[in-house]
A and B are shown apart, each in its own frame.
Chain A
């Protein structure tokens, strides 16, 4: 039977099966193949031309990642285990370039040692390396991008914007970071770090990505102009001189009490001892 069919000419073969129930599917597959091949023939050419620099950066980032990050975060940034069921580093798929720029740019990553929280320290990578790492992580899945410079540029902020930023700061940030951005304690050895000396870009990225213990303040919660105003207020706080003298660390009444006791009462007791030691020896004592 098969021999008989094979002996048919191709045209007759097709014509004989044109009403076969799979015919439509086959035609569709041919069609898709044709369109796909045509697309592959033309479109990728442009893309490769545009992205060659970027793909090179991603490639470079991947290499840096494999050396500096993969031991904790896994070879493909899928997150790593310690072998004891503990997470050494979280998955970085979908965290976006902004998270990488913040963590590596503030020196928090690569981590020195495991702990309750990764402290800020001088960055290990150059800006170009950070960008490569960010590009690689961003290439894994979409996530928040590094903000453009005008997003956190507060040089032209008006007084109203700064004041508004102050209100937003007190509503959203002071509960952990303290009224003057000096930081505060969180449970189990974690803490909200001081915001003094933080690059505006990093402050913006922190709000955007919610690093470590911090909640995410997405663009729907704190809109980009809100974030910029908060940064403007922080900037003003940092530049402001303490009008009342030495600021005692801007930590609130605890440091004031410490100074009151150590310096105030300390000095006064010393003076009392001095006055007490200055007797009037010659006059003689009078009994009453």
Chain B
């Protein structure tokens, strides 16, 4: 296309920056349409809101632990000695025009930012969007989630109120529980004995410069990779691994995404205006001698809090050393192990399935019953630890004993994920069977017919071709076969033990999964399905791998 097509302002810029070509290609970029593809957008928009409100807050926040006497307009704390950080937070809340609103929008946006990242992660997980070529983008996204949580927690610690100080004190305890290096690490992080004078200024720099910078860089790479890989899509008529079916960025997604940004901003602003969050003035200035009931971190650290809360108080002492297992296990071993497992999941699954091909069509969660079950187990494990973080409020609000809640969770955290895995996997397999039933026998119309010889039958109508396409646009997945022990020349196959493990895991993934019907089966079913008095039982139903290998 020649440049005469550009309107004058674009032509001006194109002549100087060459944006015309880039724009023409990318503005027409096609994205598929589905609500679940917009969850990551919520995270992106919350991040933009965080930056905007955060800049406002830095104009008045004083990141200093210098002692001042509060003389602002909140009378219940007037005359008290406190850090400049806390005093300036009170000033933002009560004496800066719009300050409290900005603080609350900032905090709600932080709550939503991390929640949206997590919901987005779940969508990616359950649809298999992390498969090749997107594994690295999964890791980038996961890193952003991790950084976002750290960022949020440090932000929670900045106002230097009683709640944030208590939270940092707990963190200091957890770090201190690391064998050998704990004390040194604490002195390194806090610049001496806790709380010291360095905490707030250090955390401020990390909070407003270091981590937001990293997240911003990663967002850029993340989105660049989305454009480079092209967006994934759900299976459907005309959708293949080699195309993207949807609408162009300009004008459809410009409008949709732009509009959605304003909706996210609007909802966050409404929450900031109507729902009080982190009322620092009620907590009072931080004083290590004080503590309050209901001291909890913001929600995303809740599972870590719960992990520590439900841990029995084990400790061992030898050679004058104390090992606090009650902190090492729940705070230093389990959370890193869990997040590492989540971060590496795409690579683990790829190794087990041996699938090195590119995937641009998404899985329906039911078609990967084991993966979906694992996801449900992860959610249950996380959720139960999260519940543990609020065990006191559960006890008071549901009128149960705190100890009973804790003891329940101590067992549930192990049994719950197993139960969730099993249940979810069974449901997924049943849904697969239901799908096959629809393909082979069609829809139950609810019309009952009486045949001349007295038999009653229900009429079935075949499903539409669009739906049939959607239901069958998936691969038959079979477990990995490992070859014979030795080859023709009697040489043992290499890595025999490892491959056996891999084959066992692969059977665990695919052996019970219901395969889609073959062409013959469909034709046979349709040929037979129309005659009255036809007995469906005689048809060979498509079996799972397990059922096939049994007979």
Bound: A152/B293 CA distance, A? 25
A185 touches B244 (CB 8 A): no
A184 touches B294 (CB 8 A): yes
10 contacts between A and B (CB under 8 A): A163-B79, A175-B291, A175-B293, A243-B93, A244-B275, A253-B163, A257-B111, A275-B256, A280-B252, A285-B245
A287 touches B244 (CB 8 A): yes
B284 touches A179 (CB 8 A): yes
Chain B hits for A35, CB < 8 A: none
- Within B39-92, which residues are at the interface with A (CB < 8 Å)? 39, 41-42, 75-80
Given A179-B294, A186-B402, A283-B247, are A260 and B299 neighbors across the interface (CB < 8 Å)? yes
Give the shortest distance, in Å, between A111 (CB) and chain B (any CB): 16
Considering only CB atoms and an 8 Å cut-off, how many residues of chain B contact the other chain?
A: 83
Besides A174-B293, A180-B282, A256-B278, 5 other A-B contacts (C-beta < 8 A): A185-B396, A188-B403, A245-B276, A260-B108, A268-B116
Chain A hits for B75, CB < 8 A: 159, 162-163, 236
Bound: A265/B33 CA distance, A? 20
Q: Does B260 contact A (CB under 8 A)?
A: yes
* Chain A binding surface SS class: helix
A288 touches B29 (CB 8 A): yes
Chain A hits for B296, CB < 8 A: 252-254
Chain B hits for A185, CB < 8 A: 293, 391-393, 395-396, 402
Given A159-B78, A243-B100, A254-B393, are A288 and B30 neighbors across the interface (CB < 8 Å)? yes
Q: Does B350 contact A (CB under 8 A)?
A: no
**Which chain B residue lies CB-closest to A160?**
B79
Bound: A49/B108 CA distance, A? 70
Chain A hits for B393, CB < 8 A: 185, 251, 254-255
Give the shortest distance, in Å, between A288 (CB) and chain B (any CB): 5
Q: Does A242 contact B (CB under 8 A)?
A: yes
**Which chain B residue lies CB-closest to A169?**
B284
Bound: A178/B274 CA distance, A? 23
Bound: A225/B111 CA distance, A? 42
Bound: A259/B267 CA distance, A? 13
Give the shortest distance, in Å, between A75 (CB) and chain B (any CB): 33
Question: Nearest 7 pairs between A and B by C-beta?
Answer: A184-B293, A257-B299, A276-B35, A244-B276, A260-B111, A252-B294, A185-B392
Give the shortest distance, in Å, between B25 (CB) and chain A (any CB): 10
Given A188-B401, A263-B271, are A268 and B93 neighbors across the interface (CB < 8 Å)? no
Most buried by B among A163, A236, A285: A285
Chain B hits for A176, CB < 8 A: 293
Chain B hits for A278, CB < 8 A: 256
**Which chain A residue lies CB-closest to B163?**
A252
A286 touches B248 (CB 8 A): yes
Bound: A272/B298 CA distance, A? 25
B390 touches A264 (CB 8 A): no
Q: Does B119 contact A (CB under 8 A)?
A: yes
Name the contact of B279 in the complex, choosing from A167, A184, A250 (C-beta under 8 A).
A250
**Which chain B residue lies CB-closest to A186?**
B402
- Within B375-402, which residues are at the interface with A (CB < 8 Å)? 389-393, 395-396, 400-402
Bound: A277/B36 CA distance, A? 11
Q: Does B230 contact A (CB under 8 A)?
A: yes
Q: Does B297 contact A (CB under 8 A)?
A: yes
Per-residue contact bits, chain A 232-256, to B (CB 8 Å; 1 contact, 0 not): 0100110010111111101111111
Given A250-B282, A285-B247, are A170 and B77 neighbors across the interface (CB < 8 Å)? no
Chain A hits for B115, CB < 8 A: 260-261, 264-265
B293 touches A264 (CB 8 A): no
Chain B hits for A260, CB < 8 A: 108, 111-112, 115, 271, 299
A247 touches B259 (CB 8 A): no
Q: Does A192 contact B (CB under 8 A)?
A: yes
Chain A hits for B76, CB < 8 A: 162-163, 166, 233, 236-237, 240
Q: Does A34 contact B (CB under 8 A)?
A: no
**Which chain A residue lies CB-closest to B290?**
A170
B111 touches A264 (CB 8 A): yes
Chain B hits for A73, CB < 8 A: none
A252 touches B295 (CB 8 A): yes
Name the contact of A254 in the complex, choosing from B94, B116, B294 (C-beta under 8 A).
B294
B39 touches A269 (CB 8 A): yes
* Chain B binding surface SS class: helix
Most buried by A among B75, B244, B274, B293: B293
- Which residues in A have some Cβ–Cβ distance to B below 8 Å? 116, 159-160, 162-163, 166-167, 170-171, 174-180, 182-189, 191-192, 233, 236-237, 240, 242-248, 250-261, 263-265, 267-269, 271-280, 283, 285-288
Give the shortest distance, in Å, between A178 (CB) and chain B (any CB): 4
B282 touches A179 (CB 8 A): yes
Chain A hits for B292, CB < 8 A: 170, 174-175, 178-179, 252
Give the shortest distance, in Å, between B316 (CB) and chain A (any CB): 25
Given A171-B289, A179-B292, A257-B298, are A245 and B163 neighbors across the interface (CB < 8 Å)? no
**Which chain A residue lies CB-closest to B45?**
A268
B274 touches A245 (CB 8 A): yes
Most buried by B among A159, A186, A258, A271: A271
Most buried by B among A186, A243, A264, A288: A264
B78 touches A279 (CB 8 A): no
B276 touches A174 (CB 8 A): no
Bound: A50/B438 CA distance, A? 96
Q: Does B263 contact A (CB under 8 A)?
A: yes
Q: Does B246 contact A (CB under 8 A)?
A: yes
Chain A hits for B93, CB < 8 A: 243-244
B284 touches A166 (CB 8 A): yes
Chain A hits for B287, CB < 8 A: 170-171
Q: Does B457 contact A (CB under 8 A)?
A: no
Chain A hits for B259, CB < 8 A: 275
**Which chain B residue lies CB-closest to A283?**
B247
Bound: A267/B271 CA distance, A? 11
B276 touches A247 (CB 8 A): yes
**Which chain B residue lies CB-closest to A172?**
B290
B279 touches A247 (CB 8 A): yes
Give the shortest distance, in Å, between A17 (CB) and chain B (any CB): 75
Give the shortest distance, in Å, between B469 (CB) and chain A (any CB): 15
Give the shortest distance, in Å, between A53 (CB) and chain B (any CB): 44
Chain A hits for B278, CB < 8 A: 253, 256
A269 touches B294 (CB 8 A): no
Chain A hits for B41, CB < 8 A: 272
Name the contact of B111 in the complex, choosing from A187, A256, A283 (C-beta under 8 A).
A256
Chain B hits for A236, CB < 8 A: 75-76
Q: Does B501 contact A (CB under 8 A)?
A: no
Bound: A243/B96 CA distance, A? 13
Give the shortest distance, in Å, between B41 (CB) and chain A (any CB): 8
Give the shortest distance, in Å, between A154 (CB) and chain B (any CB): 13
Given A185-B396, A245-B275, are A254 and B247 neighbors across the interface (CB < 8 Å)? no
Q: Does B238 contact A (CB under 8 A)?
A: yes
